[in-house]
Chain A
Amino acid sequence: MLAKGEVVAVRRASVSLAGRDILKDIEFTLGPGEFCGLIGANGSGKTTLIRTILGFIPPSSGAVAFEGGGKATSVGYVPQKFSLDPYMPMRARDLVGLGLDGARLGVPLPSKARRRKVDEMLEAVDGTRFADQRLGSLSGGEQQRVLIAHALIRRPGLLLLDEPLANLDMRSVAGIVTLLRRLSRELQITVLLSAHDMNPLLSVMDRLVYLAHGRAVTGTTDAVVRTEVLSQLYGYHIDVVRVHGRVLVVAADAEWDAKAAIERDPVHISQIP
């Protein structure tokens, strides 16, 4: 059961897939309105963790609990890969509308109230401009806004985003981060979004969950992104370098094997100036 004021709690959750241990003893809770980053290198298990929270993957041990007990009653999800059929006859506002009543049987009847809610949500994500365009004709960033609108239109308590910034250009990244932060505040929604680069999120994250080799450390950026903390997490020496307000996480082991490090943890290479 959750303590008061907790939206979701991951309690010592371990997940194995196809015989491999992906996540080990993950433990953290999120409160209402918190904006939390799930940071880790590619392949560190971010997607697995998100899917476990969603209930798509059952944990091999431990549990995920939501406020109100039992499974999540309202969680919004923006998946990483939204492989859309380019010929799909659906406009942005149609997908957002499905976020409202997609689980209900029958055909959507035109109603002023429904249209108003959809319009409002699209307005909130700055999507009014392309509301009537086909999904297939939207850019990556635009599609993402539609997905966010779809996920939020029922005002869930928790919004999960899997690598929303990964395929966006720099300007769009800033736009989406600002949008998410604003929505989180305005609608009092807990946001957990995963990324392999924490830098765009430094100014907006309340806390972060740092994932490496299947284990996680939780806390504020200042508390977690430190040499001693991350070195313990990784199991070998890590240097945290702060340059011009940006954070670099670099391996500084004398016996550092470049090839093995690249295979194990690609973030090292991307962060090296």
Chain B
Amino acid sequence: MTTLLSLIVEPGFFASEPVRTAAAIGGAAAVVSGAVGVFTVIRGQSFAGEALSDLSSAGGAAAFLLGINPLVGFLGMGVIAAACMELFRVDRASERDLVTGVVTSAGLGLAALLLYLDVTMSSTTGAAVTVMFGSMFAIPASIVPLALTVGIGALVAIGVLYRPLLLCSLDPDLAAVRGVNVRLIGLLHLIVAALAVALSAITVGAILSTALLIGPAAIALHLTKRPGMAILLASAVGVVTTWGGILVAYDSYEWTGGHGWPVSFCIVALIFVSYMAVAQAGTGGVRRALRVARAPISSGV
């Protein structure tokens, strides 16, 4: 048993401080993102999730360079973007995506301006890239308490909003009839998503924040139709793929002669492969998949 374990896990893994921090932070990000992500996927707002990730990263990079606490930049930009996205009354998902797109381009333009306003160009490029791709093994342990606070805050918000948010996401007309302020709930959902995304982006980078928001939730929704179950599953899948990815990344230092594969790649790859596996199984085999492929208009989700 120990030899099997030592095959999979390179020496020093469990003892390593960066690994433990990464596992804690990554795990927390995964739990929060998975929970929020279920609603984001149900509502068909994956674009908004991804856009919030880009925007909060840009905000964070800009804040960092302007000497402001980057956390303020991440969270602030994310929340402002969320508010702007919900500003316009839109009836169709496609129009909502268009608004998301327009807000994104304006926001990134603003970020480009802020990045430019900092004098030294060279530090800009490095920061921008670090922010986008993140480096989980370089997270200072001091950020842990703050990150956990934001994460817990987001989870509490989901708990409080659970019923109205679920109703609005599944049947907005019924929710309106029942007196729920659908637009307000939509705004609150995006704000919580912005918090989750910002938390992930700070700690694990922009790519991963999108992946952790959408991937595990999409996997969970393929496996179950019950929302409560989906939330638990999404968080679980998120944590498993995150820890698995960290493990693979750590091990990869051995295979690649000291370089190592980036953690973000390992985790995203795990999520992607898991999703393909689940989606494949979900269509019930090749024959059913063929029939689905032949029918010209897909009626499914």
A–B contact via C-beta, under 8 angstroms = yes
Binding site for B on A (CB under 8 A): 55-58, 83, 85-87
Q: A86 to B90: give the CA distance in the assembly, Å.
A: 11
A185 to chain B, nearest CB (A): 32
Contact A56 B291 (CB under 8 A): no
**Partner among A56, A58, A86 whose Cβ is within 8 Å of the Cβ of B297:** A56
Q: A30 to B91: give the CA distance in the assembly, Å.
A: 40
Residues of B close to A56: CB separation below 8 A: 295-297
Listed by A's residue number, 6 A-B pairs whose Cβ atoms lie within 8 Å are A56-B295, A58-B291, A58-B294, A58-B295, A83-B92, A86-B91
Q: A87 to B94: give the CA distance in the assembly, Å.
A: 11
Residues of A close to B297: CB separation below 8 A: 56
A205 to chain B, nearest CB (A): 28
**Partner among B95, B291, B295 whose Cβ is within 8 Å of the Cβ of A87:** B95
Q: A55 to B294: give the CA distance in the assembly, Å.
A: 10
Contact A85 B92 (CB under 8 A): yes
B88 to chain A, nearest CB (A): 12
Residues of chain B in range 65-106 having any CB-CB distance to chain A below 8 Å: 91-92, 94-95
Q: In chain A, what residue has the closest Cβ to B297?
A: A56
Contact B295 A57 (CB under 8 A): yes
Residues of B close to A58: CB separation below 8 A: 291, 294-295
Q: Top 6 closest A-B pairs, CB basis?
A: A56-B297, A56-B296, A57-B295, A58-B294, A56-B295, A85-B92
Binding site for A on B (CB under 8 A): 91-92, 94-95, 291, 294-297
Say whether chain A's binding surface is mostly helix, strand, loop, or mixed.
loop
Residues of B close to A57: CB separation below 8 A: 295
Q: A57 to B297: give the CA distance in the assembly, Å.
A: 9
Q: A56 to B291: give the CA distance in the assembly, Å.
A: 11
Q: A86 to B89: give the CA distance in the assembly, Å.
A: 13
Residues of B close to A83: CB separation below 8 A: 92
Q: In chain B, what residue has the closest Cβ to A83?
A: B92
Q: In chain B, what residue has the closest Cβ to A86?
A: B91
Q: A101 to B268: give the CA distance in the assembly, Å.
A: 45
Q: A12 to B3: give the CA distance in the assembly, Å.
A: 63
Residues of B close to A87: CB separation below 8 A: 95
B292 to chain A, nearest CB (A): 10
A167 to chain B, nearest CB (A): 15
Residues of B close to A55: CB separation below 8 A: 296
Contact B295 A85 (CB under 8 A): no
Q: A83 to B94: give the CA distance in the assembly, Å.
A: 12
Q: A81 to B23: give the CA distance in the assembly, Å.
A: 49
Residues of A close to B94: CB separation below 8 A: 85
Q: In chain A, what residue has the closest Cβ to B299?
A: A17
Q: A57 to B291: give the CA distance in the assembly, Å.
A: 9
Q: A70 to B8: give the CA distance in the assembly, Å.
A: 58
Q: A85 to B92: give the CA distance in the assembly, Å.
A: 8
B111 to chain A, nearest CB (A): 28
Q: A83 to B294: give the CA distance in the assembly, Å.
A: 23
Contact A85 B95 (CB under 8 A): yes
Q: A58 to B295: give the CA distance in the assembly, Å.
A: 7
Q: A57 to B94: give the CA distance in the assembly, Å.
A: 26
Q: In chain B, what residue has the closest Cβ to A58?
A: B294
Residues of A close to B294: CB separation below 8 A: 58
Q: A83 to B296: give the CA distance in the assembly, Å.
A: 18
A123 to chain B, nearest CB (A): 32
Residues of A close to B95: CB separation below 8 A: 85, 87
Q: A222 to B151: give the CA distance in the assembly, Å.
A: 69
A160 to chain B, nearest CB (A): 15
B137 to chain A, nearest CB (A): 46
Q: A83 to B291: give the CA distance in the assembly, Å.
A: 26
Residues of B close to A86: CB separation below 8 A: 91
Q: A33 to B142: give the CA distance in the assembly, Å.
A: 80
A47 to chain B, nearest CB (A): 10
Using A55-B296, A85-B95 as known contacts, list a sample of 12 further A-B pairs with CB atoms less than 8 Å apart, ordered by residue number in A. Answer: A56-B295, A56-B296, A56-B297, A57-B295, A58-B291, A58-B294, A58-B295, A83-B92, A85-B92, A85-B94, A86-B91, A87-B95
A25 to chain B, nearest CB (A): 20
Q: In chain A, what residue has the closest Cβ to B284?
A: A19
Q: A86 to B291: give the CA distance in the assembly, Å.
A: 33
Residues of A close to B291: CB separation below 8 A: 58
Q: A156 to B296: give the CA distance in the assembly, Å.
A: 21
Residues of A close to B295: CB separation below 8 A: 56-58
Q: A26 to B141: give the CA distance in the assembly, Å.
A: 69
B45 to chain A, nearest CB (A): 18
Q: A83 to B297: give the CA distance in the assembly, Å.
A: 15
Q: In chain A, what residue has the closest Cβ to B94?
A: A85
Q: In chain A, what residue has the closest Cβ to B291?
A: A58
B160 to chain A, nearest CB (A): 34
A79 to chain B, nearest CB (A): 10
